[in-house]
Amino acid sequence: MTATAKPYLTGHYTPVPDELTATGLTVEGTLPPELTGRLVRNSHNPKPGITPTHWFKGSGMVHGIRLREGRAEWYRNRWVHTPALDGAPYLTDHGPDLTASTAGTHVIEHGGRLLALCESALPFELTPELETVGAFDWNGRLTSAMTAHPKEDPATGELHFFASSPLPPYLIHHVSSPDGTVLTSQEVPGASAALKHDFAITENHVVFLEGSVTFDPSEHSGIPYAWDDAQAARIGVMPRGADGAAKVRWFPLPPGYAMHLANAYEDGAGRIVVEGPSVGRDGWQRSWNWWVGAPDRGAEPNSGSRSRRWTVDLVAGTVREEQTDDLTVEFPTINDAFTGREHRYQYALSFPDDRGVGNHTLVKYDRRTGARQLLPVGTGQLPGEAVFVPAADASEEDAGYLLTVVSDLNVNASKLLVLDASDLSLPPVATVHLPRRVPAMIHGSWIADADLA
C-alpha cells in the first residue's frame, strides 16, 4: 500500500495542511443560550509531507468551536506544539522523553487548565484560544505518562487517571485534586504489560481492564502491541483511597479487548457493572490493519466491536460477560454527571460492516427499557464522538444536547450538529457550518466558560 493510500490519510481522515481562524460562523436554527463555551476536539494530523507509520503516530491538532449566547463566534485549529511535532524522538538514549508527545488523542479541562492528551506522554496545556503553553506535570510530581481517558468524579471533582507501560511499573494510578494542584500516586500490583487504553471509576472503586493485547517488540509500526492468545484477559477492581492499590483484586475474563468504556457503577447488590464495546481477535486485527495501512490478512468479516456488559460479583469472586447489542459501535459516551453512577442513557457511533446499518449512524440506548434509537447521517458523512451537554435546569438524565462534528465528503466540508439528546428523531436544534472539513474521529470535550475562568 502506498503512502497516499494509507486509510488514515485519506477520505474523512485526510489531514488539513495549515492552521486557520474564522469568525462569525453561519448558524441554521437556534443555538441554546446555555451553550456558552467551547467544543474542542483532537485529531491526528501530521504535517504536510509526513507519513506516520501508524494512525496514532500522527501529530495532534485541536479544533475548537466557540459558542456564546446563541452565536458561533469562531472556529480555529492549531497543532499542539510538542517536540514531536518538529521531529524529536520519543525514545532517547536516556529513555522515553515524556514531552515528545503527539498529544493527539483527547482534550479535557481540569482545574481551569485545557489539556491535550496522549497516553504515552505528559499532557500539554493549551490556552483558551488553543495555543500551546507546554507540558504540564503537576509541578514536577507527575513523572510518568498520563492516560488519554481520565475520569472526573462528578461528586468530588477529583480527576482519576493512570499510567500504563510495557515495562515495570506496569500500572500507576493517579488522583488529582479538583483544582489541579495536588497529585497522589500508587503503583497497582499484579498488573501486566497488557495494553490499557481506558478504565472506569465507581463511587468506591477503580476498574482496570487488561485484554488479550500486550507488548510485542516485534511490531515495527511504532506502537509495539499485538494480540496474544497467551495474554490472559482480566478485570482489576481496586478500592478508592490511599491504600487501595494494596487491596486490588484481579478476575479472569474471556479473550477480548475493550478500547473504550462507557461507564461503570455499583448496583444494588454491591456488584461492579462495567459497560463498553469490545472485540475478539479478528476485530482487533481488522482495526490494527486499518491503523497501520495493511490489508485485512483474512480477518473474519462482521467482527467489529459489540456492546458488552461485565458484572463483577466481589463476594462470589466471579465475572459474568454478556453482549448487550448486535450493532458494530465505538466511541461510547454518557451524561458525565453520571460517571461512576448508574446511568440510563448511553450514546455511541455505529459503523457499517458487512451486515450492518448501511452508513454511519448515531445510536442512543435506553438501558432501562432496552430500546435503541438510530440517527443515520447520510452517505458520505461521518459524525464524530457525540458529546453530551446538559440543558439549563435539566431534571432528566437525557435533557440536553449532543454535539457532533460531521465530516461530509460530498461537499468537502464539516458542520457541527446540535441535537436534542432526548429524541434523535427530531431535526437538529442548530447546525453550525465550519469553514473547512475537520478530520474525522478521536475525542473531544465541551468546556463551559465557567470551567476555564
Q: What is the pLDDT of residue 306?
A: 95
Tens digit of each residue's pLDDT (9 = 90 or more) over 197-215: 999 999 999 999 999 999 9
357 pLDDT exceeds 60?
A: no
Confidence band of 337 (pLDDT split at 50, 70, 90):
very high
Q: Is the model's pLDDT at 328 over the cut of 50?
A: yes
- CATH ID of 18-452, from 2.130.10.10, 3.40.50.300, 2.40.37.10, 3.40.50.410: 2.130.10.10
- How does residue 325 score in pLDDT terms, banded at 50, 70 and 90? very high
286: enclosing H helix or E strand: helix 281-292
Q: What are phi and psi of 291, to 5 degrees?
A: -65, -30
Contact status, residue 187 vs residue 208, Cβ threshold 8 Å: no
Per-residue confidence at 1, pLDDT binned at 50, 70, 90? very low
Percent of the chain with pLDDT over 70: 96
Quick one: cell of 263? 461507564
The pLDDT tens digits for 101-142 are 999 999 999 999 999 999 999 999 999 999 999 999 999 999
Q: How confident is the model at residue 356 (pLDDT cuts 50, 70, 90)?
A: very low
Mean pLDDT, residues 288-305: 80
Are residues 133 and 83 in contact, defined by beta-carbon separation less than 8 angstroms? no
Q: Provide the grid cell at 237.
A: 477492581
**Distance in angstroms (rounded) separating the CA atoms of residues 449 and 37:** 5
The percentage of residues in the chain with a pLDDT greater than 90, rounded to a whole number, is 91
What is the structure's pLDDT at 299? 62
Element containing residue 215 per DSSP (H, E)? strand 213-215
Residue 119: CA count within 13 A, CB half-sphere: 22
- On the 0-12 / 13-18 / 19+ scale of CB atoms within 10 A, 2 is exposed
| Per-residue CA distances from 41 to 92, 108, 161, 440 (Å) | 30, 9, 20, 10
**DSSP string computed for 229-267:** TTS--EEEEEESSTTGGGG-EEEE--S-B-S---EEEE-
* Cα–Cα dist 320/306, whole Å: 16
CA pair distance 337, 396, nearest whole angstrom: 11
Model pLDDT, residue 91 = 87
Residue range 50-68: mean pLDDT, rounded? 96
